[in-house]
Amino acid sequence: MADNQKIVYITRRERFNAAHKLYNPNWTEQENEDFFGKCSNKYYHGHNFDLFVTVKGIANAETGMVIDLKLLKKIIKEEIIEKIDHRNLNEDVDFMKGIIPSIENIIVEIWRILDAKIVNGKLHYIKLTETENNFVEYYGE
């Protein structure tokens, strides 16, 4: 393989904060509380999320880039951050309507949106951290 055919993985991090509660509307209040505990608190709670978006590709011979990070930043900001930052994930985010806003479900929706928008390189991986100790990873499968 020629040097300019090397596959590289390039990552942009963005941050947002948002509120949510883990709550299944098909269950009673008591069932929700028993299963989700304080995560189901009806007054919600917030997190500072880190979102890592990795694009895979071969650097363009003219630009040296798999994807221009300014473009990747713009896509993530416009498609995700502006719709989710400082919002309530249960009530106020269009792409989470009707979906329990667990990090597992959030990351799958983020993938669906970004995958359709990234045309330079291919979306390879997303990581979403909710706390220092809890995060999810997704490869689109």
Q: What is the CA radius of gyration of the chain?
A: 17
- Of 87, 123, 124, 119, the closest CA to residue 106 belongs to 87
| Residue 19 Cα to chain centre, angstroms | 15
140: number of Cβ within 10 Å: 13
Our separate counts of H helices and E strands in the chain read 4, 5
Burial of 26 (0-12, 13-18, 19+ CB in 10 A): exposed
* 124 annotated active-site: no
Burial of 75 (0-12, 13-18, 19+ CB in 10 A): buried
* 130 annotated active-site: yes
Which one is catalytic: 29, 31, 45, 86? 86
* 86 annotated active-site: yes
Which residues have a catalytic role annotated? 39, 86, 130
